[in-house]
C-alpha cells in the first residue's frame, strides 16, 4: 500500500467511525474463511459491516475520527464491526457466533456513540432486548388502554339490542303492549246515575210547583161560587 492508498484507507475508515452507532472489535484468529464469510453475512442483515484492516491504519483513522480510545483494542488480528443498525442486535450476533465457534472468535471491546466499551460491556449489550422487541413492547403498551376501551364500548353496544328485545318481549313497547284497563261496570253505573240525578237545590223547586197547583185550583172554585 503506497502513501496515497494509505491516506484513502485512513479517510474511509475515519468516515466509518463517524457514521457508525457502535463499533465492536473482535479477534478472529483461528476462524476459517467460510466462518468469517458467514459472520459477515449475518452482520449485514443488521446493517453492520465487518472490516479487517491493518492495525496501524485503524489507529490513524481512529485518531482522525477522534475516537482514539479504541486503539487499546488494536493488538493482534483484529476485525471491526461497524454498526449502523441495532447495536444490541449486532452484539447478539457476535456473542452467538462466539458460542458457535467454541470461543474461537473473541470479543475485545469497542465504542458506543463514541464511548469506550470493554468486552464485558459488549456482552451486556448483547443481553439487552433488540430495538424491534422494544418497539413491539411500546406499541403493545400504548395500544392496551385503547383496546380495553374498545372492548368496553363493544360490550355496551352489544347490550343495547338485548335490553330492547327484553322490553319488547315483556310487552312494554310495540304491538304486544297491554291495553289500558276499562273501568269496572259498577263504577260506570254509579257515575252515570250520579250525573242523571237532580241536585238537592233542584228538588225543593219541583215540590213547590206541585204544591202551587192545588192552591190555584181552590181559588178558581171560590170565584165561580
User: Structural domain tally of the chain?
Assistant: 2
Q: What is the pLDDT along the chain (225 residues), one digit of tens a residue?
A: 788 888 999 999 999 999 999 999 999 999 999 999 999 999 999 999 999 989 999 999 999 999 999 999 999 999 999 999 999 999 999 999 999 999 999 999 999 988 999 999 999 999 988 667 766 666 665 665 655 556 665 665 566 555 555 555 665 555 555 554 545 544 444 544 444 545 444 444 444 444 444 444 444 444 444
Q: How many Å apart are CA 141 and CA 31, to the nearest integer?
A: 43
Q: How many Å apart are CA 33 and CA 31, to the nearest integer?
A: 7
The answer to whether residues 8 and 92 belong to one domain is yes
What is the phi/psi pair of residue 69, to 5°? -60, -25
* 213 within some domain: no
Q: Residue 103's domain is classified under what CATH number?
A: 3.30.70.1730
Q: Which residue segment(s) compose the domain that 24 sits in? A: 3-128
Q: How many Å apart are CA 203 and CA 128, to the nearest integer?
A: 110
* 161 within some domain: yes
46's grid cell? 443488521
Amino acid at each position: 500500500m503506497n502513501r496515497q492508498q494509505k491516506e484513502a484507507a485512513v479517510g474511509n475508515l475515519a468516515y466509518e467511525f463517524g457514521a457508525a452507532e457502535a463499533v465492536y472489535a473482535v479477534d478472529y484468529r483461528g476462524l476459517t474463511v467460510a466462518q468469517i464469510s458467514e459472520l459477515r453475512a449475518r452482520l449485514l442483515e443488521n446493517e453492520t459491516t465487518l472490516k479487517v484492516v491493518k492495525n496501524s491504519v485503524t489507529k490513524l483513522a481512529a485518531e482522525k475520527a477522534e475516537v482514539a480510545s479504541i486503539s487499546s483494542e488494536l493488538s493482534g488480528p483484529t476485525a471491526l464491526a461497524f454498526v449502523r443498525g441495532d447495536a444490541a442486535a449486532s452484539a447478539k450476533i457476535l456473542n452467538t457466533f462466539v458460542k458457535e465457534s467454541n470461543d474461537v472468535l473473541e470479543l475485545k471491546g469497542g465504542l458506543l456513540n463514541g464511548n469506550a466499551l470493554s468486552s464485558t460491556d459488549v456482552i451486556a449489550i448483547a443481553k439487552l432486548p433488540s430495538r424491534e422487541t422494544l418497539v413491539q413492547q411500546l406499541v403493545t403498551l400504548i395500544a392496551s388502554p385503547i383496546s380495553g376501551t374498545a372492548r368496553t364500548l363493544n360490550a355496551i353496544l352489544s347490550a343495547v339490542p338485548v335490553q330492547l328485545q327484553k322490553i319488547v318481549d315483556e310487552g312494554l313497547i310495540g304491538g304486544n303492549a297491554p291495553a289500558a284497563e276499562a273501568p269496572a261496570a259498577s263504577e260506570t253505573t254509579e257515575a252515570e246515575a250520579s250525573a242523571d240525578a237532580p241536585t238537592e237545590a233542584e228538588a225543593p223547586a219541583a215540590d213547590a210547583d206541585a204544591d202551587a197547583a192545588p192552591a190555584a185550583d181552590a181559588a178558581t172554585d171560590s170565584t165561580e161560587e
